[in-house]
Structure 1
Amino acid sequence: MRFGTVKQFEPRSPYGFIDDDMNHKSYFVFYTAIKEEGYKRLEVGQRVKYELAQGKNGLQCVNVYLAD
């Protein structure tokens, strides 16, 4: 698992970006990648753990969980 910080998340068009701790790049995240219970939303500045997978337009975040 990788760790990062939510850089941006748009609840009206549920997508955003996560800044990766290891390489300081930003990766796309779509709300369906969030694996938490209830309403799937991320807050700017929130710490998360996730995996990267190849999407249609490059690497993107999948299996996103709030970091403990």
Structure 2
Amino acid sequence: MRLGTVKQFDKGSSYGFIEDDQNHKSYFVFYTAIKEEGYKRLEVGQRVEFQLAQGKNGLQCVNVYLA
């Protein structure tokens, strides 16, 4: 698992970006990748653990958990 910080999350559109601690690149995240119970959303500045997988437009975050 990688560690990162939520840089942006649009609650209306349910997507955003997470900055990877390892390489400081930002990766797309969609709300379906969040593995928490209840209403799934992220807040700017939250620390998360995640994996990367190939999506339609490049690497994106999957299996996102609050750190």
- TM class by smaller structure: over 0.9
Output aligned runs, 1:1-68, within 5 Å.
1-67=1-67
Which structure 2 residue ranges, 5 or more long, are not aligned? Answer: none
User: What TM-score does the superposition give when structure 1 sets the normalisation length?
Assistant: 0.98
Task: Supply the distance in 1 between the matched residues of 2:15 and 2:41 (Cα, whole angstroms).
Answer: 9
User: What TM-score does the superposition give when structure 2 sets the normalisation length?
Assistant: 1.00
Q: How many residues align?
A: 67
- The CA RMSD measured in Å over matched residues stands at 0.2
The 4+ residue runs of structure 1 with deviation greater than 6 A are none
